[in-house]
Amino acid sequence: MAESWKIKLLRWRFNWYPAFRNTGARITYIAEDLLEARLRLPLGRATRNIHGTIYGGSMYAAIDPLHAVLVAAHLGPNYHVWMKSAKIDYLRPGRGDLFARARIQPRDIAEIRAALEHEKKIDRDFSLSLVDADGLIAAQFTLTLHFRHRQAHERKMHNVVFP
């Protein structure tokens, strides 16, 4: 199926956003329903460490925004979505390009909304792996996202970037 112009524009904007662009990673796919995104982190001059493998900081920086952006797109402008913490297990050196697939489920969004009806703020964990071309895991991430409702004055200042 061909990529819609909205998704193509979103992917382009994401890849050109300076903070993400400087990671060296590129978003290669965003699902039309915004429940999945894929990225490629190439081994190159900008991501290579002194051992000739992908720098761990590049790995983290590449995956940092994925889940937060996907969930925020579904929750909308009335919610704050922040990365609170990350646990990273580096399992093997990235000796070539690495790939990640961030996925959220519709039930995740429903559970977050329901929890925020009773709680002022909540945290939720998501998992993600960076794998090589052979499917071997180079790094395993557990990302903790923080959610809360925006205050009325914050809603007016918020500029929604995603559909």
- Partners of residue 128 on adjacent β-strands: 141
Task: Please check whether residue 33 lies inside any domain of the structure.
Answer: yes
Inside any domain, residue 163: no
Q: How many domains does the chain have?
A: 1
Q: Given this model, what pLDDT does residue 150 score?
A: 85
Per-residue pLDDT of 3-14, as tens digits, reads 899 999 999 999
With contact defined as beta carbons under 8 Å apart, do 134 and 111 qualify?
Answer: no
Q: Which residues contact 140 (CB under 8 A, 6 or more apart)?
A: 88, 89, 91, 127, 128, 129
Residue 162 lies in a domain: no
Residue 3's pLDDT is: 87
> pLDDT tier at 1 (50, 70, 90 boundaries)?
low
| Residue 101: inside a domain | yes
Can you give the CATH number for the domain in which 79 is found?
Answer: 3.10.129.10
Residues 28-76 pLDDT 10s: 999 999 999 999 999 999 999 999 999 999 999 999 999 999 999 999 9
Q: Is residue 24 part of a domain?
A: yes
Residue with token string 């093997």: 92
Domain membership of residue 48 as a residue range? 5-157
Residue type, 66: L
pLDDT tens profile 64-107: 999 999 999 999 989 999 999 999 999 999 999 999 999 999 99
Given a contact cutoff of 8 angstroms between Cβ atoms, the answer to whether 45 and 79 are in contact is: no
